[in-house]
Chain A
């Protein structure tokens, strides 16, 4: 059963990812990324990260993707030129990507970590629950938590500054 769930999630993830880079229309790419994110949330559930799976769907597939959909609709279909700054870039890039994948896989499989060939230790019922994550965030990782909230505030202010119309622009 676990295998079926894993392969279903993996096919959804990979299909979504390939559709993101393959589709010509940016709007369809955004929709493909939503498929990818929801399949990934399923994989998170298999890995017993329940809170993160919920956060993935609510924050990513919900809020962030709505932002993308709005901007993709606002900007419209951008013509992508076929001109290549580096000759043969379109052929070279997949080769380099394949090399990256092979290298990462060698690093993972060759790492010799014994626990990688197991299904992981058995964990108690509350593993990955909001309670456990919240306790870790507010006790051990309090500084990271506060820094993240400060970063979000700066990003919000930056977005307002970037998106605000200049006065001369508004009058013209």
Chain B
């Protein structure tokens, strides 16, 4: 399997995630779409690590996973806090973060 196939797949996944961020209104689904984009980046990093025969790209991908986990924790925390205060969970109305 040529390496360019993996890279084109990763570009396709990234574009799918970007479309999701643009068309969905719920912050929870937008976070899921961010995950899609981060994972597409991970796939590209690992493909390049395989292409070069060097494991450094895999370390990068591991750090990206850590960043994604942090982002999820904070994002979900904000969603739960907004839900408790009965703020509508819709990114068009959720403009200010002041509690």
Contacts and interface: CB of A to CB of B under 8 A. Distances in A.
The answer to whether A and B interact is yes
A117 B13 CA distance: 21
Given A80-B24, A152-B66, A108 B8 contact: yes
Given A10-B9, A55-B62, A59-B69, 16 more contacts: A3-B1, A6-B1, A14-B9, A21-B16, A21-B17, A52-B65, A56-B65, A78-B26, A89-B22, A96-B18, A97-B16, A109-B8, A117-B3, A120-B3, A152-B66, A155-B74
Contacts of B58: 49, 51-52, 128, 133
B88 to A, nearest CB: 8
B55 to A, nearest CB: 5
Contact of A81 (B31, B62, B90): B90
A155 B49 contact: no
Interface in A122-162: 123, 127-128, 132-133, 136-137, 140-141, 144, 148, 151-152, 154-156, 158-159, 162
Interface in A30-55: 30, 33, 36-37, 40, 43-44, 46-49, 51-52, 55
A115 B59 contact: no
Interface size bucket, B side?
A: 35 or more
Interface in A55-75: 55-56, 59-60, 63-64, 67-68, 71-72, 74-75
A104 interface: yes
A83 to B, nearest CB: 7
B11 A101 contact: yes
A70 to B, nearest CB: 9
Report which residue of B35, B47, B90 has the largest number of chain A beta carbons within 10 angstroms of its beta carbon: B35
28 contacts: A2-B1, A6-B5, A6-B6, A13-B9, A14-B16, A26-B26, A43-B43, A47-B6, A49-B46, A49-B50, A67-B76, A71-B76, A72-B28, A80-B25, A97-B19, A105-B11, A118-B2, A120-B3, A132-B55, A141-B59, A155-B70, A155-B73, A159-B73, A159-B76, A159-B77, A162-B74, A163-B80, A163-B81
A119 B39 CA distance: 22
B36 A115 contact: no
Interface string A16-38: 01101100001001100100110
